[in-house]
Amino acid sequence: MTGVLVIDLVEIGSCEVRPLPRILVVDDSRPTREIVVRKLLHRGCKSIDVAVDGRDAVEKYKRAVEQQLQYDIILMDYSMPNMNGWDATRELRVLGYRGTVTGITGNTLPADVEKFIAHGADKVLWKPLVEEKYDEIIAGQYPLRLVFRYFVTFP
């Protein structure tokens, strides 16, 4: 049996040292919130807040601004009671939020994805989130550039 080992050398896109991102996880499903938070903690994120719907997210953002804190990333569910994800995203943008909003949805209809983007989401990911997607969410704050790729073949 033979195989190939791929080794990627990357460099961080910026030389400045930045702390791990401050993240707000917004989802009406408690099990989903718990899974997402656990996966982010496993990746070293330490500052994670949760909101149970869009209205709660907007209120938490306002309180954070009052305390001179800022969320770097907001993970926003699409469909929630009280205020849905796209309306909450639009409201956050109106209030001045300039960080990354990643929409998360179980619905893969192109019209719904376009709606989320049109209301201010930077990107949309589908549930369930696979392991690599958590790395992608965090890596968005730390752009990496592929420098060289080694292919090593072994018998």
- Selection from 55, 134, 40, 135 nearest residue 89 by Cα: 55
Q: Is there a contact between 48 and 37 (Cβ–Cβ < 8 Å)?
A: yes
State what percent of residues in the chain have pLDDT above 90. 41
Q: Is the pLDDT of residue 117 over 50?
A: yes
What residue has token string 């969320």?
71
pLDDT confidence of residue 17 = 43
**Model-level pTM?**
0.76
The top-scoring range by mean pLDDT among 3-7, 30-34, 84-88, 121-125 is 84-88
Q: Which segments of 75-130 does DSSP mark as H helices, in order?
A: 85-94, 110-118
pLDDT confidence of residue 124 = 87
* Helix-, strand-, coil-residue percentages of the chain, each rounded to 5: 35, 30, 35
pLDDT confidence of residue 44 = 77
The Cα–Cα gap between 73 and 48 comes to 10
* Distances 93 to 1, 74, 90, 146, 154 between C-alpha atoms, Å: 54, 12, 5, 32, 52
C-alpha 52 chain-centroid distance: 16
C-alpha 146 chain-centroid distance: 22
For residue 3, the cross-strand partners are 154
**Residue 38 — φ and ψ, nearest 5°?**
-60, -45
Q: What is the pLDDT of residues 66-104, one digit of tens each?
A: 999 889 899 999 999 999 999 999 999 999 999 999 998
Domains and CATH numbers, the chain: 25-140 (3.40.50.2300)
